Homo-oligomer: A and B are copies of this chain.
């Protein structure tokens, strides 16, 4: 846990931007107005950490005491809103494809960073020996914001349908939790985050699927 704090801040910032952007895009496509876009964008970005903190009794959640990521999410959302407002063809234009590709990579980095940070927070709070708990907290930090976004926007949570998204987080969380007391903590953390990012990116590329119970026709 001695990884350069600046590196950790940097990857968390990237994740915050990606998550805020995904929440804002859902809201924009639903024709919500400025406030709805802000609420959904910020909730997606910081909601996972909030759920984690409530579950371990770390209240008020960190995001409220030091709202740097809230501010970053807010700025991201405003920039995106203004861009779409100024350029009404942005959503269907050719820049959109590039934008989505970059955001996909950012999103993978964010999922990796949030997952390992969630585990770290739980360990620092003294729950290191509860393996199921710390893995769950890593995953909920990673995917919780997206779940809140989907529930508020009234759609079936993405994580229930796009399996591999959560699978990447779960795999990385198990890896980090398993390695953290065996090898150098920094390397374990990097390995966990890297596993999340790689699985997440490969899955997008090759459209991995998990089976459904009733076979699709």
Contact = CB atoms under 8 A, between A and B. Distances in A.
A131 to B, nearest CB: 9
Given A60-B127, A151-B152, A160-B27, A88 B214 contact: yes
Given A34-B213, A84-B213, 17 more contacts: A33-B212, A34-B163, A35-B210, A36-B161, A40-B160, A54-B55, A55-B60, A55-B64, A57-B57, A57-B59, A64-B133, A81-B213, A85-B211, A88-B215, A151-B151, A152-B157, A154-B154
Contact of A213 (B28, B39, B160, B213): B28
A211 B60 CA distance: 32
A35 B163 contact: yes
A153 interface: yes
A181 interface: no
A152 B149 CA distance: 11
Interface string A116-146: 0000000000010010110010000000000
A55 B59 contact: yes
A56 interface: yes
Contact of A130 (B39, B40, B60, B88): B60
Interface string A24-41: 000110111111110110
B133 A60 contact: yes
A75 to B, nearest CB: 14
Given A28-B214, A35-B210, A212-B34, A132 B67 contact: yes
